[in-house]
Amino acid sequence: ATTPTQAPNVFPLMPCGPQSRDTVTLGCLAVDFTPSSLTFSWTQGANSLENITQHLQSVEGGEKTYSLTSEIEPNMEEWTRGSNFTCKFIHKENKDEKTTSICHIFGFNPPSIHVEIPSFKTVMMTNSDVKARCFIHNVAAKLVWLMDREQPSTDRVNEFSNKTTLISELTVPSSSWKNLKLLKCKVQHHCFSAEKTSKAISVFGENVDPSVEVLQVSSKESGQHKLLCSASGFNPQISWFSDSESKSASSTDISMDTNGRVTVISRLDVLQTEWKTGKTFTCEVFDRFLNKRDRKDISLCSGKNRTDLEMINKY
C-alpha cells in the first residue's frame, strides 16, 4: 500500500519569559504530516546553522501522522540584537520557511522601561551630585537620556549590564536637577520605535512649586470668622496680610510626607465685623529652598457659596 502524503503545518517557536542563560532556545514545530520523511534546516540571516536538535514523534489515531520539533540554541547576544532566524522544511514536493526574531515578540509587546529618580528630599538636602537610573530587560539596546530635550554629556552617563538587564545611570549636580522640568529615558533599537518605549518623568515644575490654597470655614464662636491657608513645598513659610497690613496667624500645623514634602496649614481668625466690610485677606507662601513664591486672596466678595454668605449675614 502507498503511504498517503499530508503536508505539515509548521509553527515557529519563540522563547517566552525572561532568559537568564548565555543562549536562547528557538524551535520549529511541524505537525500532522505523513510520511515521516521531513527535513529541517536553519539559517541566521544568510548563514547556514548547524548543531540542530530534532525530535520525531508518531501520533496514533484514525490515521497515523507525525510531528517533528527542530531546535537551535543561538547566542543570546545574537538573539537580543534582533537577528533573523529562519527554519526551512522540505517534505516530498512541499517546501516552506518560517522566520522569527526578537522583533516579532516586541511587535506585539514592546519592552517596558523602568526609571528611578532621587527623592525630592534627597535632592533638596544635598549639595553634591544625584543619580537617576534607567532599566530595560532582555534586549540588547542603547539607552539614551534627555534632560529637557537635551542629551547630557557622555561623562555623566554610565552604562552596565548583566545577563538579563541593561542599566544606564545618569549623574547630575543637584543644582541642575532642581531646575530640571522633564527627564526622559528612551530606547534605541531597530525592532521598535522610541516613542513606544519612552519613560518621561516630571521632576521639578508645577508639581513641586510651592502651592497654596485658602478657604473660609464655619465658626461656632460668635463674632469670629476663620480662614485656612494650606501650603506645600520643601520649606513653605506662610504670611497673612490684609490690605498690605501684616496679620498674625492664630495657629499653624506642619506635616511632612516620606519624600520630605512639607504641608503647612495656617489659621487666621477674623472678626465678623471686619470680614463683612469686604476687606481682602491674602495668604502668601515663600519657599526659600526653591526660591519661589505664591499667594492667594480671599474676601466676602470673592464668590463664596450661598450658605456661607447666609451664615455671615445672620450676625
Q: Tell me the DSSP string of 149-160.
A: TBPPPGGGEEEE
The answer to the question of residue 268 being in a domain is yes
Q: What is the pLDDT of residue 178?
A: 78
Cα dist. 232→60, 118, 119, 177, 293 in Å? 74, 19, 16, 20, 11
Mean pLDDT value across residues 11-37 = 73
What band does 2 get if pLDDT is binned at 50, 70 and 90?
very low
The answer to the question of residue 61 being in a domain is yes
User: Which structural domain, as residue segments, surrounds residue 247?
Assistant: 211-313
Residue 213 has pLDDT above 60, yes or no: yes
Q: What is the pLDDT of residue 134?
A: 93
Domain count of the fold of the chain: 3
What pLDDT digit, counting tens, does each position of 240-271 carry? 999 889 999 999 999 887 766 788 999 999 98
Residues 118 and 196 in one domain: yes
Mean pLDDT of the chain, nearest integer: 79
Three-state SS for 211-252 is EEEEEEECCCCCCEEEEEEEEEECCEEEEEEECCEEECCCEE
Residues 252 and 296 in one domain: yes
Picking from 75, 90, 107, the residue at the C-terminal end of a domain is: 107
The answer to the question of residue 1 being in a domain is no
Residues 60 and 141 in one domain: no
What band does 195 get if pLDDT is binned at 50, 70 and 90?
low
What band does 112 get if pLDDT is binned at 50, 70 and 90?
confident
Residues 198 and 246 in one domain: no
What pLDDT digit, counting tens, does each position of 115-156 carry? 988 877 777 777 889 999 999 887 778 899 999 889 999 999
Residues 230 and 295 in one domain: yes
The answer to the question of residue 47 being in a domain is yes
Q: Which three cell numbers stand for residue 253?
A: 500645623
Q: Which residue has the higher pLDDT, 3 or 16?
A: 16
Picking from 74, 107, 140, the residue at the C-terminal end of a domain is: 107
Q: What is the pLDDT of residue 150?
A: 92
What band does 76 get if pLDDT is binned at 50, 70 and 90?
confident
The answer to the question of residue 237 being in a domain is yes
Q: Which residues pair with 296 in a beta bridge?
A: 283
Q: What is the pLDDT of residue 169?
A: 96
Residues 226 and 183 in one domain: no
Residue 278 has pLDDT above 90, yes or no: no
Residue 15 has pLDDT above 80, yes or no: no
Picking from 202, 221, 256, the residue at the C-terminal end of a domain is: 202
Residues 14 and 98 in one domain: yes
The answer to the question of residue 182 being in a domain is yes
CATH of the domain at 126: 2.60.40.10
Mean pLDDT value across residues 21-41 = 83
Residues 168 and 139 in one domain: yes
The answer to the question of residue 301 being in a domain is yes
Element (H, E) at 125: helix 120-125
The answer to the question of residue 14 being in a domain is yes
Q: How far apart are CA 102 and CA 106, in angstroms?
A: 6
Q: How many CB atoms lie within 10 A of CB 90?
A: 13
Residue 4 has pLDDT above 70, yes or no: no
